[in-house]
Amino acid sequence: MSEITALAKALVKAQADIKMPKLDGEGNFHNKFASLQATRDAIIPAMNAQGLSVVQGFVPQEDGIGVSTKVIHESGEMLDCGIFYIPVAQKDAQKYCAASTYARRFALQALACVVGSEDDDGASAVEEPVVETPKAEPPKASGQTKVQIDFLKSCGEAKKLIGKKPYYKLLGELGFAKSSEVGNKDDRANVLTALRAHYELNKA
């Protein structure tokens, strides 16, 4: 591993000055999030003030796009943060541009350790609560909390929006066969984030 002593010291100082970005965007599920511009405005000036620059580049993939992120110090030291990959279902310019913006935003937020979306445990991931039919998600079982019930409702609405096949495919990739198996806060947030991302990137 290359020496990054000067870079590390500068990054510590920069992080002390970085503020959480403004949640200036609103997604299709009425969720608030920090846009790429708001994310950049919160992070880059503090990094530049300490002699740090952030370089992001596109890494084309067969079925999606990747974004590489590097931090470079004025001394020449560099920290490679790896590649954040986003799959794209439809191969057209609009979908690839949306995916690249999404990837750049999340990679930059991860680099600076900032939060770029509302943290409500996923309870507001859909526009309106829906009344489930017996064939939809499991009914309110004894012992379920309001958060768990809201999560199941959110999953039910997401399944209607993106379709059953993509819905269960995404759940499977996250290690779950059905939404009722998702048991803790972090897993619920990851599931809803994946569903929301799929919808936003593949909507007509």
Q: How far apart are CA 97 and CA 88, in angstroms?
A: 10
pLDDT at 119: 54
Confidence tier at 42 by pLDDT (50, 70, 90) = very high
pLDDT digits (tens, 9 = 90+) for 66-125: 999 999 999 999 999 999 998 887 777 888 888 888 889 999 999 999 987 765 444 443
pLDDT at 143: 57
pLDDT at 43: 95
Give mean pLDDT, residues 59-63: 83
pLDDT at 58: 92
Residue spans of the domains in the chain: they are 5-112, 120-204
Confidence tier at 37 by pLDDT (50, 70, 90) = very high
Token readout for 1 is 């591993």
Q: What is the percent of the chain with per-residue pLDDT over 70, rounded to a whole number?
A: 83
Q: Which residues contact 91 (CB under 8 A, 6 or more apart)?
A: none
pLDDT at 131: 41
pLDDT digits (tens, 9 = 90+) for 136-146: 455 444 456 77
